[in-house]
Structure 1
Amino acid sequence: MIRVKSEAELQNMSVACRAVAAVLNEVKDIVREGANARDIEDFVLAKFREMNVKPAFKGYRGYKYATCVSVNEEVLHGAPLRSKVFARGDLVSIDVGAVYDSYYGDGAITYVVGDVDEVGKRLMETGQKALERAISVVKDGVRVGDISYAIQSFVESNGFNVIRDYVGHGIGRQLHEEPEIPNYGKPGTGVKLSSGMTLAIEVMICEGDWQVSTLDDGWTVVMTDGKRSVHFEHTILVTDDGVRVLTQF
């Protein structure tokens, strides 16, 4: 069942979402040549303690860390390891979640280390704009397929592909709630959205084929063809005439 959130619930979610927004914004200063993924993990843990929220991912289904740091061909769930050292041109996707008084916020962003080639630049821009387009169609009465189609049509028209094996999701008292929000679909199909619903719209796109594999660690999802991917996500609130982005920064 998809739950409409009360004002009290939204207040708690807003605290969690503000923490997510803060770390995703401030961590850009850490994503530089010679830094490593553990630097991001340490920063997020310290910032969350300062903001009086808990990391949502740590311990979730056995995951050991507060952050997912995925580089280049890594799509999702990359462990924030000290051995993962950033080099110029790397695309570094950072996914974080926070919990405040049992309510969740979730967000992701991709940063580039220094300069990147033209294809990488277009991949980044397409991912960012696809998320903006998806958010722009959300309002009371639209269907999940309308969001999915907005992402897929824009991404494919720019010569890239959407990841099909992983999806956005509802969010609230649980990190993952109904409905699922794929990055592909047909307009006018799927669950109808209502004012007061909260969603994590999660754009994951790639420069090659969309097929993915999971590494032996059981977590890290990579592009099977070894090409690059990017990840952008916001937690949003559906309103009567549009949307409020709770993880905006």
Structure 2
Amino acid sequence: MIIPKTREEIELMRESALVVSRTLGMLAKEMKPGATTNQLNKMAEDYIRSQDAIPGFLGLYGCPSTLLTSVNEAVVHGLPTDVPLKEGDIVAIDCGAIKNSFYGDHAYTFEVGEVSAETKKLLKITKESLYIGIREFKAGNRVGDVGFAIQNYCEAQGYGVVRELVGHGLGRKMHEDPEMPNYGRRGRGKKFVEGMTIALEPMINLGTYKVKQLSDGWTIVTQDGQPSAHYEHNIALVNGKPELLSTFDYVYEALGIVSDEEKEFRNI
């Protein structure tokens, strides 16, 4: 069952989402060769707690960490380790926080030093597909409209769109209705309603869409060992239009990137 939020609840969710946004921005400065994902995990936990929030992933479904850190061919749910990051790696950082009894949950894929042109393109297309999907999250549309838009854009570039893992509704629980696949058919699935809040998160592979789980019971990797990218935003349906609750602005500030990609989705 979809749980619409009041405007007041949406503002509380924005506070939760922005804790995660600031955490990702803080971590952006640390994405250097030699850093370990365990170090990043500790920094994230300390920062989230300093914001009068608590880590949203830690303990959820038995998760042992504050961050999920997915390096190179890892798609999602990678567990932090003491293995140093190296030049040319990519690492998707997925982070959650609870504040005001609501969850924030979003993700960004970082470059470590200089990455290949092929990998850069994968990251670019995956992030673009996120905003293409967000544009379809509007009054009158359905879940399949969002999934179709993401799938169509990414598959046209020759990339694999992961099927087994999907976005989701978000609120007082990390996972609410509806599921938000990154593939689908137009006009299919649940209809969007005013006040609903979702986490949309394309997971796109350089090669095959097929994935497998490692023996740690968490990490999902591509079957062919090629890189995967993952970006995630939290969005509310307000006055029939998508409104971002999270932002990549803190990441961009840390990395010296100028972007207006979020402008159309802000309540200004």
On whether the aligned pair clears a TM of 0.5, the verdict is yes
% identical equivalent positions? 38
Equivalences for residues 9-28 of structure 1 within 5 A? 9-28=9-28
* Structure 1 residue 6 displacement after superposition: 1.5
Q: Is the 8 A contact 2:159 2:209 kept in 1?
A: no
1:182-236, Cα deviation, whole Å (9 max, x unpaired): 1110111111001100000011000111111111111111111111101000010
Question: Is 2:69 the partner of 1:57?
Answer: no
What is the Cα deviation at residue 10 of structure 1? 1.8
Amino acid in the other structure paired with 2:225 = G
Alpha-carbon distance in 1 for matches of 2:22, 2:135: 22
| Aligned-partner residue type, residue 11 of structure 1 | E
On the 8 A contact 2:49/2:55 being kept in 1, the answer is: no
Query: Which residue does the alignment assign to 2:74?
Result: 74
Is residue 220 of structure 1 aligned with residue 213 of structure 2? no
Q: What displacement does 1:9 show?
A: 2.0
Contact 1:194–1:239 under 8 Å retained in 2: no
> What displacement does 1:137 show?
1.8
CA distance in 2, matches of 1:30, 1:38: 12
Tell me the distance in 1 between the aligned counterparts of 2:129 and 2:122.
10
Query: Where does structure 2 lack aligned partners over 5 or more consecutive residues?
Result: 250-268
Partner of 1:145: 144
Conserved 8 A contact 1:207-1:227: yes
**Structure 1 residues 60, 235: closer, same or farther in 2, change over 3 A?**
same
Please tell me whether the aligned partners of residues 37 and 69 of structure 2 are also in contact (alpha carbons under 8 angstroms): yes
What amino acid maps onto 2:169 in structure 1?
G
1:194 aligns with 2:196: no
Contact 1:140 1:239 survives alignment (8 Å): no
| Structure 2: distance between partners of 1:161 and 1:12 | 35
**Residue number in structure 2 paired with 1:205:** 204
The alpha carbon displacement at 1:63 in A equals 0.8
Task: Find the aligned partners of 1:157 and 1:25 in 2 and give their Cα distance.
Answer: 31
How many residues end up aligned between the 2 structures? 248
- Residue aligning to 2:131: 132
Structure 1 contact 139–193 (Cα < 8 Å) conserved: yes
What is the rounded CA distance, in whole Å, between the counterparts of 2:137 and 2:60 in structure 1? 29
Q: CA deviation at 1:36?
A: 0.7
Show structure 1 runs of 5+ residues with no match. none
Aligned partner of residue 224 in structure 2, secondary structure: coil
Cα RMSD of the aligned pairs, angstroms, is: 1.0
Alpha-carbon shift at residue 240 of structure 1 (Å): 2.4
Give the SS at the match of 2:202. Answer: strand
**Shift in Å at residue 8 of structure 1?**
3.1
